[in-house]
Amino acid sequence: MSSKRIVTITIIGILFIAALIGFMYLRSFFAQDSTVISLPSPSNTPERNDEVEILPLDKVEISQSTIQDVVSQTIERPDTYSRVVRVEKFWEYGQTVYFINIDVTNGMSSLTIHPPIKTPSDSSEGVEKRIISANGLLYIWNLGDNSAFIGTIDPDECEHKTIDEWHMLMSYECLLSHYGDSIIDAGYFEYGGENCVFIEYRTSQLGNLGRLYISIEQGLIVGALEYDETDTLIYSMTAGDCLIGDTNPAAFILPDGTSLLADN
């Protein structure tokens, strides 16, 4: 074999090895983020300013395994606050919208649920309902009634579960303490102008995909989404401005005129 042919074969071999190494490097590079789960954008989603952008990760890294410690050490709900949340439930031919006033103080919570609005008819149904959680008791009545239903709250329930479940929301404390195995993703996001921690999870019974956005500054959920098994949006919650340290005293008055604030 001539020396010229040997040189040619050697060069071809070197080029082949270089190309193989380059291909393996590119494959590794593009596959490194393959486990990140991104929520779909269904066509029936109403226009909302809920675009999210990843913040620079100059804070402690958040992952599925560290999210519980990060939240417990850096996020805390305020003792007293008031705000309004908008809850949307989507169905095949439209949606139902709820506006809920929330007041919290001295370990008590009061929710005033306005009559739901159904679209496309834009009609409201029902009357305002008030739900108060105080001192281990639950008071529920329609505004205008002379008395309230009174029930007890299970002392073993997750903290803040009662206030969140009445606007069809998973309490993030309950999610972390009781359903940690259902968490599939977590990290930092900017949502609605708030620096947030997000938690993505899969419900155990229906297999729906849920996502919570928890404001680092407020310590409250400022946005939530839920998709069914077909990746169709079925629930959305967005929160308005939060007035920390302020609440409405009238929200804690029972139908008989008793103020629960007087006992605290």
pLDDT band at 31 (very low <50, low <70, confident <90, very high): very low
The lowest-confidence range among 25-29, 169-173, 177-181, 198-202 is 25-29
User: Which pLDDT belongs to residue 120?
Assistant: 78
Confidence of residue 240 (pLDDT cuts 50, 70, 90): very high
CA distances from 26 to 20, 22, 96 (A): 10, 6, 47
State yes or no: pLDDT of 34 exceeds 50. Answer: no
Contact partners, residue 213, CB within 8 Å, separation at least 6:
52, 189, 191, 192, 194, 196, 197, 198, 221, 222, 223, 224
- What pLDDT does 63 receive? 67
- pLDDT, residue 55, reads 40
Q: Is the peptide bond prior to 120 cis by the omega test (within 30 degrees of 0)?
A: yes
Instruction: State the pTM of this model.
Output: 0.73
What is the model's pLDDT at position 105? 94
Count CA within 13 A, CB hemisphere, residue 77.
21
Residue 201 is predicted with a pLDDT of 92
At residue 41 the predicted structure's pLDDT band, cuts being 50, 70 and 90, is very low
Q: Report pLDDT digits (tens) over 131-151.
A: 999 988 999 999 999 999 999
Q: What is the pLDDT of residue 61?
A: 66
Distance CA 232, CA 87 (A): 16
Summarised one tens digit per residue, pLDDT across range 184-193 is: 888 888 988 8
